[in-house]
Amino acid sequence: MASVSFTSIEKSFGSTKVIHGIGFDIADGEFVVLVGPSGCGKSTLLRMLAGLEDITGGTIAIDGRTVNDVESKDRDIAMVFQSYALYPHMTVADNMAFSLKLRKADRKVIAERVDKASKILNLDPYLHRFPRELSGGQRQRVAMGRAIVRDPKVFLFDEPLSNLDAKLRVAMRAEIKALHQRLRTTTVYVTHDQVEAMTMADRIVVMHDGRIEQIGTPLELYDHPRNLFVAQFIGSPAMNVVNGTVRRGGGGAHVEVAGGVRWPLHGAPGAEGQAVAYGVRPEHLTLAPDGGGVPGEIIVVEPTGAETELLIQVGDAQVALRTHGRPAVDHDQKVGLLVDPANVHVFDQSTGARLAS
C-alpha cells in the first residue's frame, strides 16, 4: 500500500510532446481512474508509472520515493494489461506464481498466495489449465490473480475490460471494485469508458490532449464539470449543449439561441451579451404539462423499459431528454421543455471554462 505522486510530468516521443506537465497525488488505498479519449496520454502516464516508458520531465514518486530511474521490477507494482499478456506456455498456477518464483520466494509461501488468490477469483478449478483453454473472462481473472499474489504497493490496470463483451464487462467491473474494497491496495486504472470511470473510481482524472481537464469524485465531475470538455465527456447520454447569448432583459434571464429559442438561466451566471455555451443534462429536462416552457418537437422516442429517452428538435438544435416512466408522447408531437433550475451549466464559449457564479 502506498501513495503515488506525479509532479510536472512531461513526455515526448521524438519531437512530439504528448504529456504537458501533469501533476497530482494519489492517496494510500485510493482507486483512481484516468479517463479520456484515445490519444489523451492516459496510457502513457500509466506506463511511465509502471516503468515501461521513460519520463521526459518531472518526477514520479511511490510512497515518497522518486522512482524515475528505478526499474519496473523494483517499483513493487503489478499491472493488468488490456491483452491479458499471460504466459502461454505456463499453467494458470505457474502464471500466478511466476513473479514470486523470480523473487525466490519460499515454495510454501508461493503455494499459499496462489491458493488465496485463486479462491478470491474463483480460479480454483482452472489452476492446471493453460491460458488457451480459458475463456476471455477467465483469462482476465488470471491476469488479476497474477497481480494479486504479488501483494504490490500499487495495482495498475490498462483498459483491462475493453476486450470483453458487454455483459462480462459489467460483471468484471463489479469484481474489480469488490476486489479493491477487500484489498484496499492503491489502484490506478486507465479506461476510455466514462461509465467504467464513474462506477469504479474514488476519484477520476479526466485527461485530454496530454493535460488534465479536471480531477474529482465521480459526482463532483458530473454535477460541477469545470469546463465544456468534462461536461460533454462525463455522462451518457451526453449533456445537451447549445451556443447562445446571455440576455438579462425582460422576461427573466435567459440564453438566446440562433432562431429565437430562449433557454432560461434560472440564476446561473453570465453577463448581458456574453457568448456562452448553455448546458443541461437529459435528465434535468422535463416535459411541461401545460405546453409552456421551451418549445420543441419530438423526433424520436426511445423506450428502454425503466426509462424513456426522447430526441427533441428545439430551434436548430437537437436535445435529448431522459425521464423515468413512459410518457404518452409520439414523434412529431409539439412539446414544451422545463429546465431544472438547480442544474443549469453555463460555459464561456471561447475558453470552454465554467462561468463562476
Site of interaction with another protein (CB under 8 A):
50-52, 71-73, 77-79, 81-89, 98-99, 102-103, 130-134, 136, 139, 146, 150, 163
Distance between CA atoms of residues 344 and 340, nearest Å: 7
Residue placing its CB nearer to another protein in the complex, 187 or 240: 187
Residue placing its CB nearer to another protein in the complex, 158 or 175: 158
- In order of 168, 185, 325, the CA distances from 182 in angstroms are 21, 9, 37
Enumerate residues 6+ apart whose C-beta is below 8 A from 209. 20, 39, 40, 41
Distance between CA atoms of residues 223 and 172, nearest Å: 27
Q: For residues 142 and 131, is the Cβ–Cβ distance under 8 A? A: yes
CB of 17 to another protein, least distance (A): 22
Torsions phi, psi of 330, nearest 5? Answer: -140, 165
CB of 83 to another protein, least distance (A): 4
Residue placing its CB nearer to another protein in the complex, 7 or 163: 163
Residue placing its CB nearer to another protein in the complex, 140 or 194: 140
CB of 34 to another protein, least distance (A): 18
Residue placing its CB nearer to another protein in the complex, 150 or 208: 150
Residue placing its CB nearer to another protein in the complex, 30 or 159: 159
Residue placing its CB nearer to another protein in the complex, 75 or 208: 75
Strand order of the β-sheet with 254-257 is 262-264, 254-257, 240-247, 275-280, 345-348
Strands 31-35, 16-26: pairing kind: unpaired
CB of 255 to another protein, least distance (A): 47
One DSSP character per residue, 120-144 reads HTT-GGGTTS-GGGS-HHHHHHHHH
Q: Residue 286 has which C-alpha cell?
A: 422535463
Q: Alpha-carbon torsion 134, 136, 142, 146, what sign?
A: positive
Rounded to 10 degrees, what is the CA torsion of 100, 101, 105, 107? 110
Q: For residues 9 and 22, is the Cβ–Cβ distance under 8 A? A: yes
CB of 266 to another protein, least distance (A): 49
CB of 33 to another protein, least distance (A): 20
- In order of 82, 229, 244, 246, the CA distances from 249 in angstroms are 55, 30, 15, 9
CB of 223 to another protein, least distance (A): 36
Residue placing its CB nearer to another protein in the complex, 126 or 347: 126
CB of 176 to another protein, least distance (A): 17
